[in-house]
Amino acid sequence: MGREGREAGSGTGGARRVRAYIGLGANLGSPVETLAFAVHALSGLPGCRLVGVSRLYATDPVGVLDQPEFRNACVALDVPAGPDPATGASALLVALKGIERAFGRQDRRRWGEREVDLDLLVFGRHRVNVERPAEGRSDDPAKARMPLVVPHVEARRRLFVLAPLRDLAPGLVPPGWGETVATAAARQTKLEGADAARPISHWDGEGWAGLH
């Protein structure tokens, strides 16, 4: 699997960490500013270390087309492994939902507009399928009982996820995929078209610079 998906070793106090990849998206309010703040919030999570930030992408909406285009990115984060993968991934999910709510995330139609969206894409080399903890559930009753599934179910078929993930981990083979992120991204580019995910900026350590 290579370094991109390897266990991340020890963190503070010898705690074991794993490499997680988080997808970020927004298309309401000030998406670029919101996503930059979200990156800093992720880097400040207890026991976590920010490893990398992708370029920022302008992406076409999927599923619901009558909405503004999105801004999407991805971060690599070394996070506490927890006593087992299900517990570690669930704890990270709760932290992601907390950040979303802090930034005013509202439950809306499926594939619809988002103030901010933080998705757990990959959690080390682990496959997880568990009931979500109460703090990690959607407020929408129709989605409240959806399980936490990692790797993310839709990631392999969405260029708005694959393009920024490829920036950070092109050679990563997420559990169950049987192909690298780069291979999946190339396939989806052919299906969706290169213009479906367009890089518009690079991360300079504080925010996305050189917007175009």
Given the residues 78, 117, 137, 167, select the one marked as catalytic: 117
Of 71, 78, 119, 132, which one is the catalytic site residue? 119
Q: What is the DSSP letter of 151?
A: S
Under a CB-based contact definition with an 8 Å cutoff, are residues 88 and 80 in contact? yes
All residues at 6 or more sequence positions from 117 whose CB lies less than 8 Å from its CB, including other chains: 23, 24, 25, 26, 100, 105
Closest CA to 1 of 198, 181, 205, 193: 181
Let me know if 65 is exposed, middle or buried by CB neighbors in 10 A (0-12, 13-18, 19+): exposed
Q: Pick the catalytic residue from 114, 132, 156, 158.
A: 114
127 catalytic per annotation: no
User: Is 114 among the residues known to form the active site?
Assistant: yes
- Report the Cα–Cα distance between both ends of the chain, in Å, rounded: 35
Residue 107, classified by CB atoms within 10 Å of its CB into exposed (0-12), middle (13-18) or buried (19+), is middle
Is 140 marked active-site?
no
Q: Is 105 a catalytic residue?
A: yes
Active-site residues, by number, are 105, 114, 117, 119
